[in-house]
Amino acid sequence: PKTNVVFLKVHKSASSTVMNILFRFGETHNLTFAFPVGGGNQFFYPQHFLAKFVRGFSPRSPRQFNILCHHMRFLQPEVEKVVSSSAVYFSILRNPVQLMESSFVYYKGTSAFSRARSLEEFLSEPYQYYNPAHGDSHYARNLMTFDFGFNPDAEVSAERVQLMLKAIEASFDLLLISEYFDESMVLLKEMLCWDLDSVIFFPLNSRDSSTKSPIPDSIVEKIKDWNRLDWEIYTHFNRTFWERINRDIGRERMQREVKALRERQAELARICLQGMGSVAPKDIKDSSLRPLQHGNAKILGYNLKQGLDKETEHMCRRLVTPELQYSSALYKKQFAPMRP
């Protein structure tokens, strides 16, 4: 199994669920995580990543960390200072249409979105609301492009798009697609030589459907135009994702692998969860399992079954622990004060 991993956690793209997988694997195998200085869950985002943002990094005696997975704005030469040269790099993408709808709800308080009553209103005259000079403007346009380290306001020329795609291909070994999350987990498992249970997941940080609204066709094209760079990234890597499946795994074996994944997931849901699925934040009984609520989104969570034996309870709890709680527990464990 590969133990040196860099995950670029792209915003609002099922990346919290991927992070839980990395947290569990790292904890099980006693790996070291690159944590932001001072804890927290991002590397001084939205600045470009710098090695000095990692707690315990020193240029005089650079030490290598196994897993780098907290939010950052990607800058490869700096990332390379804190991980092994053998590290596997991967990230995840989401259809920019859904990504924008999700961002609008989740980041409603940002300068670009706060005054617009609806996404339609924002898109009808974006420059009335959007000012690229504002420090939080990246949430409102080409968010994936921004997270990968590029300029979200750049003009869209064929040449620029090609350079950007080539740069991403040169840096990353695999790009997952959140709309095909199960297939993505199979590809990830293959690439990292992990077993099935290492990539099993319960969706985390997902929104209650009451805060989701269907996107009218009239604004789908506007979203694509406004996020043209993201759209180019997504369509390109969605295509290469399926090419890779056809080349490395084949559709038939992929179907079998996905079936096995879903069956194991259903089995774990029966073992671990009350009522089999996620619940609204107000219905989560154990406050330590309540996810952070943000913007206008209602973030769902889980209730564990009562009376599980210790080992099962531990396994189940790790599957449903929200990102911030899990991250801070691992941080405390990794930086526990030395006993005299």
91: helix, coil or strand? strand
In angstroms, the CA 269 to CA 80 distance is 38
What's the mean per-residue pLDDT of the chain?
94
pLDDT digits (tens, 9 = 90+) for 73-110: 999 999 999 999 999 999 999 999 999 999 998 999 99
pTM: 0.94
Give the pLDDT confidence of 239-266 residue by residue, as tens digits: 999 999 999 999 999 999 999 999 999 9
Asked if pLDDT for residue 295 goes beyond 70, the answer is no
Tell me the angle at which helices 217-226 and 96-106 cross, rounded to the nearest 10 degrees: 90
Mean pLDDT on 152-166: 97
pLDDT category at 112 given cuts 50, 70, 90 is: very high
Q: How far apart are CA 206 and CA 219, in angstroms?
A: 23
- Pairing state of beta strands 88-93 and 67-68? unpaired
- pLDDT (0 to 100) of residue 156: 95
Domains of the chain: 5-205+213-268 (3.40.50)
Question: How many C-alpha atoms does 126 have within 13 Å on its Cβ side?
Answer: 17
Q: Is the pLDDT of residue 339 over 80?
A: no
- Tell me how crowded residue 31 is: count the other CB atoms within 10 A of its CB: 17
The model's pLDDT over 9-56, given as tens digits with 9 standing for 90+, comes to 999 898 999 999 999 999 999 999 999 998 889 999 999 999 999 999
pLDDT score of 40 = 84
- Pairing, β 174-177 against β 5-8: unpaired
- d(CA 222, CA 164) in angstroms, rounded, equals 22
> Could you tell me the two tokens for 301?
């969570």
